[in-house]
Structures are given as structure tokens and as C-alpha cells.
Amino acid sequence: MAAKREGTSYVGSWAFLIGVILAVILGAAGIVNTTMTLVLFVLGVIVGLLNIAEKEVNAFLMAGAVLVIIGALGSGVIPEGPATSWISGVYDALLIMFVPATIIVALKSVFSLARR
């Protein structure tokens, strides 16, 4: 079992850090292929399962909701072009990691509420 540090694990912390760095680098380079998508997805699942403590759930879910809303409504704000295509790539790669993490944290929150 991973070592614990105030409700989170080192594995979850490393998964988050590696995922964000990979998402930024791969998204900016425009090389998010099927394999990289799977890697980011799995890192997101690990983050959702291991990294979010109960006291952080509300803030994480709010941030996740904002990311999804920005993705749905904000894509028309940034004009498409070679100078801005990396922004879209980075955002898409981050979403690949954060969406599964947000879904898992939301489900954990619902099950926690149901147990009470």
C-alpha cells in the first residue's frame, strides 16, 4: 500500500504531477495519440481514486465543473490558428486526465452521502 500523507497517497500525488506535466507537453506538441490518451486517462483514474481527500471533494468538483463548462462554451473564444492551436491541445489533454478523475470523485461523494 502507498504511504499516506494527510489523507492522500504518494502514488496519487505523483500521478497528478506526472499527468499534468504530460498533458501540457503532449498537448502543446500536438502528439496526443491513442496510447497517450490511455496513459492520461489511467493517470486521471488514479488521481480520482487516491489523491482527493474528503475535505477537498467540493473544491475539486467545482474546479472540474468549471473545466467542463469552459470546454463547452469557451472553445469559440480563442481563434483557430498556428499560434493558438497549442492552447487547444493542452486543454484537451488536461481534460482527458481530469474528466475521469472528476467522475470518480463525484461518484465517491455520492456514495459517501448515501452512507450517512
Give me the residue spans of the domains in the chain.
4-115
pLDDT higher than 80, residue 81: no
What residues are paired with 5 via a beta bridge? 8
Determine the residue type at 40. Answer: L
Distance of CA 23 to the CA centre of its chain: 9
pLDDT higher than 70, residue 75: no
**Average pLDDT for the chain:** 85
pLDDT higher than 70, residue 35: yes
- 42 close to 49: Cβ distance less than 8 angstroms: no
Instruction: Tell me the pTM.
Output: 0.82
Name the more confident of 62 and 68: 62
Name the more confident of 71 and 66: 66
pLDDT of residue 3: 47
